[in-house]
Structure 1
Amino acid sequence: MKIRALTLSLVSVATLAGAVPPAANAQGLRAAGVPQAPRLSSPSVTLPAPGAGTVTRSADFIVAVVNSEPITNNDVQIRMERTRAQMEAQGVRLPPQDVLAKEALERLIMDKILLQNAKEMGLKVDSYAVSQAVKSVAQQNKLSEEDMYRRLAADGISKEQFREELRNQMLVQRLRERDVDARVKVSEFDIDQYLREQRSASAGAAAANADINLGHILIAVPEGASNELIEAQREKAKKLMAEIRSGKDFFAAARESSDAADASQGGLMGLRSVDRYPELFVQATQKAAIGSLVGPVQSPAGFHILKVVDRTLSGVPSVAVQSHVRHILLRIGAQLSEEQAAQRLEDYRSRIASGQATFEALAREYSQDGSAQGGGDLGWAGPGRYVPEFEQVVESLQPGQISQPILSRFGMHLIQLIDRREVKLSQREQREMVRDLVREKKLDEAYVHWQQEARAQAYVEYREPPQ
């Protein structure tokens, strides 16, 4: 199957490592009224297709200076080539060359400004966090780290360069969480206003305009596949669908068998308007009831199995998949480094696996947050309750499974998924989900303004145009 173009987006990398830990009490949870970074329904950091990173370089020269740091023509060409490969892989029409060059240069300028600001504030990303991010990227692409580095090297991206790019983007994300998130507040009035707007907008709308949440499993078909392989994949999809109809958990099946980027989230694509879904998916599910299964549906990418998880005209889900988890938290500081905390949690994990101790007992003894007294139990929680880097791990676990040590903005965690269920949400729970939706919208707006402010305060000198 063709591997997608390299995407090292700022927000994507936010799910891979934690930000600066706040002073408030921390359980990996979103504290009521405390804004967090926006969540992505399917975070994706993917590798370039073979040859995607190959750039024919001319003589290099400086095209811009940002606060005394240069950006070269080669820098722009590399960014353009990655953007071009990504757009082609997604089937997006390419803009003219001069427009692509201008956009690439402006993104490089903005990246450099934010990175400079992060370093001026003394923000750092330890090697452990970078290694954790690298491991996550490899897992997303279903490759070993060695194979991933070989793929990158074939496209002219060294191991050191890749790690440095991840480190830089994680630095900027920590800057954002420090400078932007604290600005955003969501009041009860904001929630009421959102609900009024949604009711007004949906009053005369047809059901086709409803927001929907689909579960998705992709059985991929490679480009140029033979008729025999296509039929084999079709049969594989039919067999998997029959297993789900016979009682196999859809979300477990997605994690085990789906070739889509959202597989680690159990195939959940998230509640969104129909215009943000592929037309093929909308047409296939428009008459399907909540909870029903549709497919296999064929597309050029392969065969899709779809589950209608929720449908709503108000923009507020009526049902959600909840997870019951417990955790052990070790805070990072002068007395405990990230690597030391990870080693301790690895030891706890081994002791649990060997039967020498229980998760609950170790949590009561060692966990450094308010859940310790209850054996680390965080109760039942739906989407959006945990910060993204914590939630991503929870969604990847099977009931009873214990994670590897995971770094979040609060510290180092060991997480166990106790169980998972699908429930009808109470009015209070629906309002909390609306709070997350409103927060995401406000965060996006605040992030744009923040970038504009940073750009206005920086010194940028344009030299020769990129060639």
Structure 2
Amino acid sequence: MFYSKLHFYLASALLAFALSSTAQTNAPPKSSNRDFIVAVVDSVPITNHEVVLRVPLLREQLKQQGRLAPEGEALLKATLDRLVVEKALLQHAKETGITVEDDAVDQAEQRLAAQSQLSVDGLHKKVKAEGSSAERLRQNLREQLILQRLTDRNVPGRIKISDIEIDQAVRQRQNASIDTNPDMELGHILVAVPEKASPAEIAALQSKAQTALNHLKRGDDLSRVAKEFSNAAERDTGGLMGLRPANRYPSLFVDATKSLSEGEITLVRSGAGFHVLKLITKRASSILTVTQTRPRHILLRPGGQLSQTAARAQLAEYKRQIEAGKADFAKLARAHSQDASGPDGGDLGWVSLGMFVPEFEEVMNKLQISQIADPVVSRFGVHLIQVLERRDAPISERELRDLARNGLRDKKFDETYQLWAQEVRGRAYVEYRDAPQ
């Protein structure tokens, strides 16, 4: 559950390079004309140039969080503070023996290139054109991967969640169901309108429906009124449609009764005729559901003679053939997919939120039914993803508590991370230096 949070920090570092030319353009003139050391963290210097490059990144992060970014010197100071914490964390990682192998840096570099719709060589050229270098890019990626591993090792175990908090979260979800898909029972009287009814006949039938409405409003028994006026099947069950989730009622009925209190009545028109509806019961659903997706994919793993660029091109061609009706997704998956799902036509079965790595799940969640995404790069390789179905599936009490626990962990992650990072920063030696006159 924590990978998506950690992934954010890596993505932020990558964004810094994507914005490097913007940073140089937008930097205050007095900061961009020369370079000098502005702080030292455990003998590791931070230069003014580093701060300037990170300014647009911080501004973008605050914007994504819905927070107003400071301006001028305040923004430079906030950026420097973040860099101080980062250097302290990197030093702590070094002291605790955390390293990142070259293969992991290669994969991160490949993912960044794919996200930018470039080859790795193309990415290097872009970085160089923006005033940086491939070496600096790889060093930055390595540092962000180290921070990711350090955070993964230290933060999750510090997050404490009590049973009381889980109970409260479960209750909140249950109470919220009354606004999303409550259990409802409606009383129903249908005054049917024939397909070729004249305006005069329609007016007479509307008057009949209004009379039935008036009878109910003055307190007459629903069962008696239904037997006298209704053409619906429910007339023989006292006009009651039965207690069921709202999504099992016609949307017209749900919309018409959504603002009613129990016992209140309304009149609506449909293609079938005039409906008198009485809200008998409305309560939080006893059966909670979770949205599940059924995707399938074709996975190619770059290596040997197959480069990542070639894998993406091959899957893009598969997509073109499938959409043109010249190839079948399942057959291509059986023939070419390098995943265990290949023999099943790439079918991954029904899955809930959080079961896949973020780079896969992000794309999957945006797809419409039957839509095929462009090739997606993950740590496992290159995927061609299609969504077959979606459904709201019942969720057990245990699954509900697990969801509540995971949701609480995500909410507490940022606060726990900040507290831990400040602890590490507090143990580091930090010296701030004034700009040379």
TM-score by length of 2: 0.52
Q: Deviations over 1:133-175 (max 9, x none)?
A: 3359xxxxxxxx9xxx9xxx9xxx9646599998777655544
Q: Aligned letter for 1:408? A: S
Give yes or no for the alignment of 1:134 onto 2:116.
Answer: yes
Structure-to-structure mapping, 1:287-436, within 5 angstroms: 318-332=288-302, 337-423=307-393, 425-436=395-406
Q: Deviations over 1:318-365 (max 9, x none)?
A: 444432210122345567543343344334334434545422223233
> SS of the residue aligned with 1:329?
strand
Deviations 1:204-238 (A, max 9, x none): xxx8x99999xxxxxxxxxxxxxxxxxxxxxxxxx
What do the CA deviations read for 1:175-221 (whole angstroms, capped 9, x no partner)?
455444366779xx968554224368899xxx8x99999xxxxxxxx
CA distance 1:132–1:115, shift in 2 (3 Å): farther
Q: Which moved more, 1:75-84 or 1:110-119?
A: 110-119
| Deviation by residue 1:252-289 (Cα, 9 ceiling, x = unmatched) | xxxxxxxxxxxxxxxxxxxxxxxxxxxxxxxxxxx979
**CA distance in 2 between partners of 1:212 and 1:171 (Å):** 47
> In the alignment, what sits opposite 1:195?
166
Which amino acid is the alignment partner of residue 324 of structure 1?
R
- Which of residues 17, 38, 43 in structure 2 aligns to 1:63? 38
- The residue type equivalent to 1:64 in the other structure is A
In structure 2, the CA distance between the partners of 1:83 and 1:162, relative to structure 1 (3 Å rule), is farther
* 1:163-242 matches, cutoff 5 A: 171=142, 174-181=145-152, 192-198=163-169
Residue 104 of structure 1 corresponds to which residue in structure 2?
79
Q: C-alpha distance in 1, partners of 2:66/2:387?
A: 37
Q: 1:447 to 1:190 in 2, by over 3 A?
A: closer
Residue deviations 1:30-70 (CA, integer Å, cap 9, x gap): xxxxxxxxxxxxxxx99999998252225432112356653
**C-alpha separation in 1, matches of 2:386 and 2:13:** 19
Larger Rg: 2
* Correspondence for 2:100: 121
2:349 is paired with a residue of what secondary structure? strand
Mapped to 2, the partners of 1:426 and 1:120 lie a distance apart of 41
Give the counterpart letter for 1:133 in structure 2. Q
1:89 and 1:453, CA in 2 relative to 1: closer, same or farther beyond 3 A? closer
3-state SS of paired residue (1:381): coil
Mark the runs of 5 or more structure 1 residues left unpaired by the alignment. Answer: 1-8, 19-44, 137-144, 214-286, 290-311
Matches of 1:47 and 1:432, distance apart in 2: 41
Q: Give the structure 2 partner of residue 76 of structure 1.
A: 51
Specify the SS of the correspondent of 1:361: helix
Question: What is the distance in 2 between the residues matched to 1:16 and 1:66?
Answer: 22
Q: How does 1:440-459 map to 2 (within 5 A)?
A: 440-441=410-411, 443-444=413-414, 447-448=417-418, 451=421, 455=425
What SS does the corresponding residue of 2:295 show, helix, strand or coil?
Answer: strand
Alignment coverage as a number of residue pairs: 314
Given residue 84 of structure 2, which amino acid in structure 1 is its aligned partner? I
Q: Which has the higher contact order (CA 8 A, sep 6+)?
A: 1
- 2:167 partner amino acid: R
Task: Quote how far apart the aligned CAs of 1:393 are.
Answer: 0.6
SS in 1 for 2:105: coil
The answer as to whether partners of 1:180 and 1:450 remain within 8 angstroms in 2 is: no
Normalised by the size of structure 1, how large is the TM-score? 0.50
Alignment partner of 2:35: what SS? coil
Equivalent-residue separation in structure 2 for 1:172 and 1:50 (angstroms): 20
Name the SS of the counterpart of 1:407 in structure 2.
strand
Measure how far apart 1:374 and its partner are.
1.8
Shift in Å, 1:370: 3.0
- Contact 2:161-2:409 at 8 Å conserved across structures: no
Q: Which residues of structure 2 form unaligned runs of 5+? A: 181-257, 261-282
Q: Residue 456 of structure 1: CA displacement? A: 6.7
**Distance (whole Å) between structure 1 residues aligned to residue 346 and residue 339 of structure 2:** 8
- Which stretch shows the higher mean deviation, 67-76 or 445-454? 445-454
Q: For the aligned residues, what is the CA RMSD?
A: 5.5
**C-alpha contact (below 8 Å) 1:10/1:172 kept by paired residues:** no
Q: Secondary structure at the match of 1:124?
A: helix
Aligned residues with identical type, % of pairs:
37
Look up the equivalent residue of 1:381 and give its one-letter code. Answer: V
| Alignment partners' CA distance in 1, 2:332 and 2:316 | 12
Distance 1:88 1:380, change over 3 A: closer
